[in-house]
Amino acid sequence: MSETARYLLIVFGVLAVMMSIAAGLIWVERRLLGFWQDRYGPNRVGPFGILQPLADMIKVLTKEDWVPPFADRPVFILAPAIIVITVLLAFAVVPFAPGISVADLNVGLLYFLALSSLGVYSVALGGWASDNKYALIGALRASAQMISYEVFMGLSLMGVAMLAGSFNLREIVEAQRRLWFVAPQFLGFVVFFIAGVAETHRLPFDLPEAESELVAGFHSEYSGMKFGLFFVGEYLGITLISALIATLFFGGWLGPLLPPVVWFFIKTFFFIGLFILLRATLPRPRYDQLIRFGWKVMLPLALLNLLVTGGIILAAG
Amino acid sequence: MFSILRAIWTVFLHLFRRKVTVLYPEEKPRIPPRWRGRIILSRDPDGGERCVACYLCAVACPVGCIALQAAEDEYGRRYPEFFRINFSRCIFCGFCEEACPTCAIQLTTDFEMSEYYRHNLVYEKEDLLISGPGKHPGYNFYKVAGLAIKGKDKGENENESPPVDVKGLLP
Ligand code: SF4
Ligand code: SF4
Q: What is the pLDDT of residues A225-257, one digit of tens each?
A: 888 888 888 888 888 888 888 888 887 777 777
The pLDDT of residue A222 = 83
Average pLDDT, chain A: 83
For ligand 1, the distance from its centroid to the CA atom of residue B29, given in whole angstroms, is: 24
The pLDDT of residue A228 = 85
Average pLDDT, chain B: 86
The pLDDT of residue B24 = 84
What is the Cα–Cα distance from B156 to B140, expressed in whole angstroms?
Answer: 20
What is the Cα–Cα distance from A296 to A299, expressed in whole angstroms?
Answer: 6
Give the tens place of pLDDT for each residue, B24-54: 888 888 889 889 999 999 998 888 888 889 8
Give the tens place of pLDDT for each residue, A291-307: 888 888 888 888 888 88
Q: Which atom of ligand 2 is nearest to the CA of B105?
A: 1
For ligand 1, the distance from its centroid to the CA atom of residue B133, given in whole angstroms, is: 20
What is the Cα–Cα distance from A155 to B137, expressed in whole angstroms?
Answer: 81
**For the residues A108-121, what does the mean pLDDT come to?**
84
Q: Would you say residue B63 has pLDDT above 90?
A: yes
What is the pLDDT confidence band of residue B91, given thresholds at 50, 70 and 90? Answer: very high
What is the pLDDT confidence band of residue B171, given thresholds at 50, 70 and 90? Answer: low
Lowest mean pLDDT among A283-287, B28-32, B144-148: B144-148
Angle at the Cα of A30 (from A27 to A32), degrees rounded to 5? 100
Neighbouring CB atoms inside 10 A of B122's CB total: 16
**For the residues B127-156, what does the mean pLDDT come to?**
82
Q: Would you say residue A98 has pLDDT above 80?
A: no
**For the residues A154-171, what does the mean pLDDT come to?**
82
The pLDDT of residue B78 = 86
For ligand 1, the distance from its centroid to the CA atom of residue A245, given in whole angstroms, is: 61
DSSP characters over B60-112:
H-TT--EEEEEEE-TTS-EEEEEEEEETTT-----HHHHH-TTS-EEE-S---
Which residue among B10, B15, B23 places its CB closest to the CB of A35? Answer: B15
Which residue among B8, B15, B23 places its CB closest to the CB of A281? Answer: B8
Q: Does the predicted TM-score (pTM) go above 0.90? A: no
**Nearest alpha-carbon partner for A21 in A243, A245, A247, A186:** A243
Contacts of A193 in chain B (CB under 8 A): none
Task: Convert A101-122 to b/e letters by CB count within 10 Å (16 or more is b).
Answer: bbbebeebbebbbebbbbbbbb
Contacts of B23 in chain A (CB under 8 A): 40
Contacts of B15 in chain A (CB under 8 A): 35-36
The pLDDT of residue B96 = 92
What is the rounded radius of gyration, in angstroms, for the C-alpha atoms of chain B? 24
Report how far apart, in Å, the C-alpha atoms of A239 and of each of A203, A214, A236, A264, A272 are. 15, 26, 5, 12, 7
What is the rounded radius of gyration, in angstroms, for the C-alpha atoms of chain A? 20
Q: Which atom of ligand 1 is nearest to the CA of B95?
A: 7
Give the residue numbers in A contacting B (CB under 8 Å), as ranges. Answer: 35-40, 277-278, 280-282
What is the pLDDT confidence band of residue B69, given thresholds at 50, 70 and 90? Answer: very high
Q: Would you say residue B76 has pLDDT above 80?
A: no
**H/E run at residue B41:** strand B39-41
Share of chain A above pLDDT 70, in %: 99
Q: Is the CB of B85 under 6 A from ligand 2?
A: no
